[in-house]
A and B are shown apart, each in its own frame.
Chain A
């Protein structure tokens, strides 16, 4: 084991200064306000991608800074990122099937519902 590189007086773990944590928390709160604000605009199908991009950025901050993954052993990161990667495969390939057959799905009153929703937003 090459455990000489991180030797310090405290032994195990990396101590993250409070100011880094406070700055992270502040940024996360600001990004929460941003995602609420952005949601008041309608970008059509891009809405969900914008919301997910902000949430993904926030989640990365939590994982890297609050959860110390930035300073942690890389293998822990590999474990976690692998679970996210397999989840991404799960969702992506399920959605290829869903979208493949979506033209055959009865849309019901989707158009009318959408028109009503649009009218409500004005």
Chain B
């Protein structure tokens, strides 16, 4: 291996690297290490999905009925096409075709924004219907016990048991929501009724759907037709698609940055722009940001490829 003469060093080669190849491959290895941490970041949530689905598969089957398969499929296609334009952008950068590179990066950016717009409509529709992420933070008075009157094996919940033992004064009940439960009354795991209330399924049936939409309650969560345990499905739906959405948003920023980097910055621009953006335009000899940005964009696509069937289809 020959050491290049210092006078031959290209301007993009940083002083601590011997060759452009060494610099490129080190950067690429760093990116793959980052992608491995991304897999593990989402991995925790996939474990959550596996456990929840393993315990209550019917809840997921039920919840998926509330998601719009058509919008989900369109979003999948949008991300695949933007992945394609991103991969093509890398090829064009390597071939020194700046015009094609900028067109392809713009198309990729358009795909990312389309995905976010469609996701916004999906989310706002769910919020409108009252399917929020988070725990069941509102319950109509008395609804909790009524729903389970038909339960062949009624069970005493931990909080109920505590209340039976020690009735709090009206003042305490009104001002301090948390009952002072005895340590021994902590409920064993998995005693709560699981899955969704069968009555909740009525909202899926013809007339009930009409009624559901026509007569909207003051607050959607007070809707008696609302699936009792559906919030658990929407918890994990919003958690996983939300983290993915954050990644898409970061991708938008990255694509804008690449687009500016791909265009030549005029000399009259202030020096500070050269700090935020790239000092040098991409070309066949140096295209590392396009390549590594592409890798990031593809892993965002890859995660969605799993999220789409897991939430929308099965």
Q: Do A and B come from one complex?
A: yes
Which chain A residues have a beta carbon within 8 Å of chain B's beta carbons? Answer: 1, 3, 10-13, 15-18, 21-22, 24-25, 28-29, 32-33, 35-36, 39, 47-48, 51-52, 54-55, 58-59, 62-63, 65-68, 72-73, 75-76, 79-80, 82-84, 86-87, 90-91, 94-95, 98-99, 102, 104-110, 112-114, 116-117, 120
Q: How far is it, in angstroms, between the C-alpha of A106 and the C-alpha of B35 when the chains are bound?
A: 39
Could you say which residues of chain B place their CB within 8 Å of the CB of A1?
1, 22
Asked, given contacts A51-B309, A80-B36, A113-B201, whether A102 binds B84 with beta carbons under 8 Å apart, the answer is no
Q: Which residues on B sit within 8 Å (CB–CB) of A91?
A: 43, 46-47, 50
Query: With A and B bound together, what is the CA distance between A86 and B310 in angstroms?
Result: 20
Once the chains are docked, how many angstroms separate the CA of A25 from the CA of B104? 14
Given A59-B305, A80-B32; 14 other pairs, CB 8 A cutoff = A11-B284, A11-B285, A13-B287, A18-B91, A21-B84, A48-B314, A83-B35, A83-B36, A83-B39, A83-B40, A102-B54, A113-B195, A114-B61, A117-B62
Using known A-B contacts A51-B309, A90-B43, determine if residue A98 contacts B54 with beta carbons closer than 8 Å.
Answer: yes
Residues of A near B205 (CB, < 8 A) are: 120
In the complex, B56 has a CB within 8 A of chain A? yes
* Complexed CA–CA distance, A117 and B198 (Å): 9
Which residue of chain A has its CB nearest to the CB of B194? A108
> CA–CA, A3 to B191, complex, Å?
63
Name B's A-contacting residues (CB within 8 A): 1, 20-22, 24-25, 28-29, 32-33, 35-37, 39-40, 43, 46-47, 50-51, 53-56, 58-59, 61-62, 65, 69, 73, 76-77, 80-81, 83-84, 86-88, 90-91, 94-95, 151, 153, 155, 190-198, 201, 204-205, 284-285, 287, 291, 294-295, 298-299, 301-302, 305-306, 308-310, 313-314
A51 CA to B295 CA, complexed, in Å: 24
Asked if A110 and B58 sit within 8 Å, CB to CB, the answer is yes
**Total cross-chain contacts (CB, 8 A):** 202
20 contacts between A and B (CB under 8 A): A10-B284, A12-B25, A15-B94, A18-B91, A28-B305, A29-B80, A29-B81, A36-B313, A62-B301, A66-B298, A68-B90, A79-B32, A106-B190, A107-B195, A109-B194, A112-B198, A113-B62, A117-B65, A117-B201, A120-B201
* In the complex, the 9 A-B pairs of residues with the closest C-beta atoms, listed nearest first: A25-B84, A108-B194, A83-B36, A39-B313, A51-B309, A87-B43, A108-B193, A112-B198, A12-B24
CA distance A112 to B62 in the complex (A): 12
